Amino acid sequence: MTLSTTCCHEVPLFREGLFPKSPREMEVVKIRPQLASELNALWHSRLPEIHWSNIVRNRNYICYGALFDWRYFAVAIWSSPVNQNFDFDTVLELRRLATAPDAPRFTPTWMLGKMVHLIRMTFPRVERLISYQDTEVHKGTIYRAANWFIASETKFQPWDKSRERNKSQSTADKIRWEYSLA
C-alpha cells in the first residue's frame, strides 16, 4: 500500500507558544514527505540530507511528526528498505528520526512506540521494522528502551563504483536494530 503525499495536518514549522513537559502531551500525526525532509534537515545530528523524492519513490513509505500546540517537536521518515535484500512488502525501514532541541526528554523512544502501533494499522502486511544506528554518534539507547534488538553489526563499505553516487553522509560502522511486529 503506497501512501500519497497528501497530509491531514499542515502547520507552520515554527511557532511561539507552549512547550510540552512530557512526550505524552504530544500527538503523532502523518505528515507530507516534503515537510518531513525539511524538519529532518533542521534537527538530524548526522544525516540531515534526504530529499523527499527519495522517500516517495519507494513502494511503501510514511512520515510522522510529533505535534504539540500546533508545533512539531520530532520527525520520522519510514520507507521500504534501502537494502534490496529485504522483502519490501514485509519490512519497513526507519530512515530518519530527528527531534527538535527543545523536545521533551525521551521523545524518540516514546515516538517509536506510537509509530509501531500506527504502522501495524497502516501496513498490516509489515512483519518487521529495521533501523540503522551510526556508531560514531549514537549509542542505541532509544532502540533498547523501545524493546528493539540488535540484528547485526556491519563495518562501513563504500558504494559500488560501477555508477556515480553522491558522497556518503556517514562513513561510520552501523548497527541494524529490528522490531518484530509478528
pLDDT in tens, 64-78: 999 999 999 999 999
- pTM of the predicted protein model: 0.83
Between CA 107 and CA 22 the distance in angstroms is 8
Q: Is residue 144 over pLDDT 80? A: yes
Average pLDDT over residues 42-57: 89
Asked whether residue 15 is assigned to any structural domain, the reply reads no
Asked whether residue 56 is assigned to any structural domain, the reply reads yes
pLDDT at res. 4: 37
Between CA 11 and CA 57 the distance in angstroms is 25
Q: Is residue 3 over pLDDT 60? A: no
Asked whether residue 47 is assigned to any structural domain, the reply reads yes
Q: Which domain holds residue 119?
A: 23-180
The single residue listed with the C-alpha cell 544525516 is 47
Asked whether residue 9 is assigned to any structural domain, the reply reads no
Asked whether residue 43 is assigned to any structural domain, the reply reads yes
Q: Is residue 6 over pLDDT 50? A: no
pLDDT at res. 161: 61
Q: Do the bridges between strand 174-180 and strand 128-134 make them parallel or antiparallel, or are there none, so unpaired?
A: antiparallel
pLDDT band for position 163 (50/70/90)? Answer: low
Average pLDDT over residues 174-179: 94
Total domains in the chain come to: 1
Asked whether residue 12 is assigned to any structural domain, the reply reads no
Model confidence over 84-141: pLDDT tens digits?
A: 889 999 999 999 999 999 999 999 999 999 999 999 999 999 999 999 998 887 889 9
Which string of DSSP letters, residue by residue, matches 142-178?
A: HHHHTT-EEEEEE---PPPTTS--PPPS--S-EEEEE
Long-range pairs for 143-146: beta carbons < 8 A, 24 or more residues apart: 143/112, 143/177, 145/106, 145/109, 146/109, 146/112, 146/113, 146/116, 146/179
Asked whether residue 16 is assigned to any structural domain, the reply reads no
Task: Assign residue 137 the CATH number of its domain.
Answer: 3.40.630.30
Asked whether residue 162 is assigned to any structural domain, the reply reads yes
